[in-house]
Amino acid sequence: MQFTAPGWRYLSVASGGCGYLPGGGSYVTLVPPQGAAAGFTLILETLHGACNHCGNEGPVASTADTVTFRLTGGLPPPGTTLYQWQTNAMSWFVPLPPLTVAPDGTITVTIGADAQVTVTTVASGSHGAVTTPVPPSAPFPAPYADDFSGYGYDAVPRFFADQAGSFAVRNGSLQQVVPLNPGANAWVPNASPVTILGDATGTWRDYAVAVTATMPPDAPALAPADAWIYAQLQPCDASSPLQMYRWNESAPAYLQLDGLPAPDASLCLNVLGCQTDVIFYPCVVSGGTCCGADCYANLQWAYDAATGRLTSQLDGHCVTAPTSGGIVVAACGAAGNQTWAFVPSASGGGGGDGGGSGGGTLQLQLASSPPLCLAMPAPPPPLRFLQLCARLGDFDTFAPPPMPNAYCLQLLANGSWAITTSAATLASGLLPGGVATGVPQRLLLTVNGTAITVAINGSVLAVVQDASLMSGQVALGSGWHAAAFDDFAVTPLAAQ
């Protein structure tokens, strides 16, 4: 980055050095080790206008914003010239007219939607110049092989590019090292861990790609973070720990769900800003906040025993249930399906007004049905698999569930295998005895014209015909668990 250097530090939220912009987006401020008088860089961004899953990062930016900052605490004094640079969808890193700190110590910055603006005392910034690469660009060479020897521990392997998860060389093999799905992504659907290599210009057409893949005998993988957080309605059963709630002692308006397996011993009821689904977030209670200072307001709920409403203090909406039986947040009305009752457990001391901290069940009172409880389903078992892909064309195009647009051989821990594209399953089967952890599996995928051949441990399992993908890169992947890859090789086939 041109406008900072090693040793520069971010100013804190408490000092006003970073925060949210009134119209959406955020800003951060950096200063050098010598202090604010020696330099200053302010970065503003409004990159939320096209967000798929608006989270808790503040209002969505949709129009230009003009913001005035007052520079104090040693930041540039009145009369100082500040340089501006802007990046947006139409132009990258272009200079804007300089600013001058006003006599009252203020600066006024204008930023458009989906843009980034840098304001700095550093005068040496430049767009840079396009130069001819050395060596010149050329197709990725094939054949290509890597046994991952000679790397340092946790080294990044040559030419591989991670798209999800994290792949590093450890003890002579390429390993996927992220054990937990990070959850919802604000921009695109999440893919399972995958790293890619090869030529994307269309020259890689007919070739064989092979790798030895292993599921190490490690601790059981954790459940995906976004696979079991959605709330459900279930018949009330006071003995079920997944239906036991208590009001948070530090902040009485937090509704917590207790009795969950580690690592989530307690979860808080929440609703994402631009979604209607109620979800649960892990509770982090400190200083009267839950799940972090940036999102605690979304977790504020109040139960009114007089009306039987569970209401979000953020926007006045109610937890309700549509006819499908799911849970949503809707505008509070008089409908019977918005009437709730907090029923304390036999051992709890809490009451329906939410003023106590005892446990109990939160019951939805339906006129024509027995009470239903707000509950969270048990986590599903994590999906453990190994994956080898050929002719990967466009990784930015996903199909639900998100997967590479390629011919992918996927081998599950139970021995199930399949060859798929992002649109279809071309063949599948079952290896007798499953796939034991710690036992290497030699995966081979051959693409030759429209023929796709699948082999595992030297046995050909299927030869299928498909013409939807005729060229592209290769990829290695797995589920959200440890996985190891070795003796990787791509071998072009003779012209047919």
Instruction: Report the pLDDT value the prediction gives residue 37, as an integer from 0 to 100.
Output: 82
> Is the pLDDT higher at 210 or at 342?
210
Number of H helices, E strands in the chain: 0, 38
Record the tokens describing residue 10, joined without a space.
Answer: 């971010």
232-375 CATH pick, 2.80.10.50, 3.90.25.10, 3.90.1150.10, 1.10.10.60: 2.80.10.50
Task: Extract the runs of DSSP E, i.e. beta strands, from 122-263.
Answer: 144-146, 161-164, 167-170, 173-176, 194-197, 207-214, 232-235, 245-247, 255-258
Q: What are phi and psi of 302, to 5 degrees?
A: -130, 130
Give every CB contact of residue 100 below 8 A, 6+ residues apart in sequence. Answer: 79, 80, 81, 82
Q: Distances from the Cα of 31 to the Cαs of 45, 68, 202, 411, 477, in angstroms?
A: 18, 19, 46, 50, 41
Q: Residue 286 forms beta bridges with which residues?
A: 289
> Is the pLDDT higher at 231 or at 322?
231
Instruction: Report the pLDDT value the prediction gives residue 24, as an integer from 0 to 100.
Output: 73
DSSP 422: S
CB 161 within 8 A of CB 195: yes
Q: Helical H runs in 280-385?
A: none
The 10s digit of each residue's pLDDT in 328-387 is: 777 777 776 778 888 887 654 333 333 345 678 888 877 667 788 888 776 666 788 999
At residue 322, does pLDDT exceed 70? no
At residue 58, does pLDDT exceed 50? no
Residue 84: which of 61, 116, 37 has the closest Cα? 116
Instruction: Report the pLDDT value the prediction gives residue 94, as an integer from 0 to 100.
Output: 93
Report percent pLDDT > 70 for the chain.
75
Mean of per-residue pLDDT scores for the chain: 80
At residue 123, does pLDDT exceed 60? yes
Instruction: Report the pLDDT value the prediction gives residue 325, as an integer from 0 to 100.
Output: 60
Mean pLDDT to the nearest integer, 426-454 = 92
Instruction: Report the pLDDT value the prediction gives residue 102, as an integer from 0 to 100.
Output: 95
Q: Residue 209 forms beta bridges with which residues?
A: 445, 490
11-15, 138-142, 471-475: least confidently modelled range: 11-15
The 10s digit of each residue's pLDDT in 254-285 is: 777 776 655 455 777 776 544 456 777 666 55
**Confidence class for position 209, pLDDT limits 50, 70, 90:** very high
Separation between Cα atoms, residue 41 and residue 22, nearest integer Å: 20
Write down the CATH superfamily of domain 9-120.
Golgi alpha-mannosidase II (2.60.40.1180)
- Return the CA Rg of the chain: 28
Mean pLDDT to the nearest integer, 143-152 = 95
The 10s digit of each residue's pLDDT in 295-315 is: 455 567 777 878 888 887 666
Instruction: Report the pLDDT value the prediction gives residue 56, as an integer from 0 to 100.
Output: 43
> Is the pLDDT higher at 76 or at 137?
76
Residue 123: which of 28, 2, 7, 9 has the closest Cα? 2
Instruction: Report the pLDDT value the prediction gives residue 356, as an integer from 0 to 100.
Output: 44
- Count of C-beta atoms within a 10 Å radius of residue 396: 7
Separation between Cα atoms, residue 196 and residue 404, nearest integer Å: 10
Mean pLDDT to the nearest integer, 123-150 = 87
Instruction: Report the pLDDT value the prediction gives residue 51, as an integer from 0 to 100.
Output: 47
Output the CATH code of domain 144-223+382-492. 2.60.120.560
Separation between Cα atoms, residue 214 and residue 441, nearest integer Å: 6
Q: What are phi and psi of 303, to 5 degrees?
A: -100, 125
Domain ranges across the chain:
9-120, 144-223+382-492, 232-375
Q: What is the pTM of this model?
A: 0.60
The 10s digit of each residue's pLDDT in 409-419 is: 999 988 999 99
Q: Residue 455 forms beta bridges with which residues?
A: 444, 460
Record the tokens describing residue 155, joined without a space.
Answer: 């080294």
> Is the pLDDT higher at 103 or at 89?
103
**Confidence class for position 21, pLDDT limits 50, 70, 90:** confident
